[in-house]
A = this chain, B = another copy of it.
Amino acid sequence: MTASNDLLAQLADSAPRHLEELIQWLRIPSVSSDSSRVSEVKQAATWVADKLECAGLSVEILPTEGHPMVYAESPRIDGAPVVLVYGHYDVQPVEPLDEWVNGPFEPTLRDGNLYARGATDDKGQVLTHVQSVCDWLASGQPLPLQVKFLIEGEEEVGSENLERMLPELGEKLACDCVVISDSGQYADGQPAITYGLRGIATYELTIDGPSQDLHSGSFGGAVMNPAIALCQLLGSMVDEHGRVQLPGYYDKVRELHTDEREQWAGLPQNDPEFASAIGVEQLFGEKGYTTDERRWARPTFDVNGLTSGHQGEGVKTIIPASAKAKFSFRLVPDQDPKEVTSAVRQHLENHCPPGVRWNLEADHGAPGMLAATDSRFVHAANRAIESAFGVLPVLIREGGSIPIVTRFQEVLGCDCLLLGWGLSDDNAHSPNEKFRVDDYHRGIRASAILWDEIGKLN
């Protein structure tokens, strides 16, 4: 069989159920970084495991030292390709809560969008593949390939358990190609295949000073202020153009190919519109690169959070006992997160003022990734996406990180397809995260056709 008109018609008929099921899944607050949410995270795993099992796949819940992974596979088809769909059911924290129009775990339809934490990142996107496979099996026809699923619960906290367990899972996960939908279209109406991701390195820095908050009148001028030390240490991490000042930071950065720069120059970039959409008067960043080049292929430094001293109402003139920051770097091939950590330590060692102590915790790190741009899987995906979205995808990179992708390439020796159904204004990691309902349904259709196209490859 092919992804015939029959199956496409069946998908259209099932659209209300597809949406209802996504809403069910989004109601489960599976925030992996929140230790008070362990049981909800598990519940989200069980939900998708049940869904796959009911459709006839063979399902296992794989325990880890943290949150469990859901593994499932359709029957093996002799001689046919094997595809592994990777995704995650865990979600980002939801703060600041008061900026959400609806509760983050009360999925709400508004203007053709479904609003909820995890709508696009990644429950909504990974569910497109789950739905296409389940519906294919429900149609009574055999799939023209074997599809495996690995849906984990720790992507938003660094996938460390999966990364550690990956070698021993190699045989189970063996495949010709990993398919991941955890990225975006290039623009509204312009789908994309993503062939590059940035890496990441995240940190928590604490600056400790006096054993407790001090009166800034009695003690000001006598001791180093930890909040000032923190500001100076972080502020000096980048220059006035956002160029990172750590020793050796750019040494291993792979420069952009002329081909890539030319191809990207053809994309409909519009800086003023981009700035306006996110509410800033002007964009900012390293000189000599376009906005997409800076977002996709240049490494960065960002402060993610600051905490120190008096944060409530009114005045409290203290020298705070300590100051804390969460910060992160986005890395590009061939930067090594471990070397970045060493450089951060060196920076702190060199610049921390006397009278305070620093403590750095390196949370997680992963290198950037580049995939082939002209593989048979890319060609199959081109056809599937064109058929479902009515337009050929463009080839782009993405600024985000899916740390495990590089490890899949290394351990499984497979190709890699990143097919993003989301939009850049979907507010992933932000309040009012959303997924356009039409893109969810188009994603399910593209996925169904993809199985057909990949099945034809052999």
A223 with B304: CB separation less than 8 A: no
Say yes or no: A219-B305 contact (C-beta < 8 A), given A315-B158, A430-B212: no
Nearest chain B CB to A254 CB, angstrom units: 15
B184 with A218: CB separation less than 8 A: yes
A304 to B216, CA, bound (A): 8
A242 with B224: CB separation less than 8 A: yes
Closest to A229 in B: B235
Among A92, A225, A325, A363, max chain B CB count under 10 A is at: A225
B224 with A295: CB separation less than 8 A: no
A216 with B320: CB separation less than 8 A: no
A306 to B228, CA, bound (A): 10
A183 to B221, CA, bound (A): 17
**Residues in A185-244 with C-beta less than 8 Å from chain B:** 198, 200, 202, 209-225, 227-228, 230-238, 240, 242
A216 with B314: CB separation less than 8 A: no
**Residues of chain B lying within 8 A (CB to CB) of residue A33:** 313-316
B222 with A274: CB separation less than 8 A: yes
A316 with B309: CB separation less than 8 A: no
Say yes or no: A314-B212 contact (C-beta < 8 A), given A221-B300, A242-B221, A305-B227: no
- 0 or 1 for each of A270-314: is its CB under 8 Å from B? (1 = yes): 000011001111111110000100110011111111111111111
Q: Does A42 contact B (CB under 8 A)?
A: no
Q: Does A123 contact B (CB under 8 A)?
A: no
Say yes or no: A311-B317 contact (C-beta < 8 A), given A215-B400, A280-B210, A355-B280: no
A291 to B307, CA, bound (A): 28
Partner of A279 from the list B211, B220, B237, B275 (CB cut-off 8 Å) is: B211
**Residues of chain B lying within 8 A (CB to CB) of residue A202:** 315, 317
Q: Does A95 contact B (CB under 8 A)?
A: yes
Partner of A221 from the list B216, B235, B286 (CB cut-off 8 Å) is: B286
Q: Does A399 contact B (CB under 8 A)?
A: yes
Say yes or no: A34-B314 contact (C-beta < 8 A), given A282-B354, A306-B323, A401-B217: yes
B300 with A330: CB separation less than 8 A: no
A231 with B303: CB separation less than 8 A: yes
**Residues of chain B lying within 8 A (CB to CB) of residue A427:** 212
Say yes or no: A356-B305 contact (C-beta < 8 A), given A312-B95, A399-B221, A400-B217: no
**Residues of chain B lying within 8 A (CB to CB) of residue A347:** none
Closest to A400 in B: B217
Nearest chain B CB to A449 CB, angstrom units: 27
Closest to A210 in B: B278
**Residues in A393-445 with C-beta less than 8 Å from chain B:** 398-401, 424, 427-432
B217 with A398: CB separation less than 8 A: yes
**Residues of chain B lying within 8 A (CB to CB) of residue A325:** 227
A316 with B326: CB separation less than 8 A: yes
A sample of 18 cross-chain residue pairs with beta-carbon separation below 8 angstroms, ordered by A number, consists of A157-B314, A212-B427, A212-B430, A212-B431, A213-B429, A217-B400, A218-B428, A220-B295, A220-B300, A225-B303, A227-B303, A281-B354, A303-B308, A303-B323, A304-B309, A304-B316, A315-B326, A315-B364
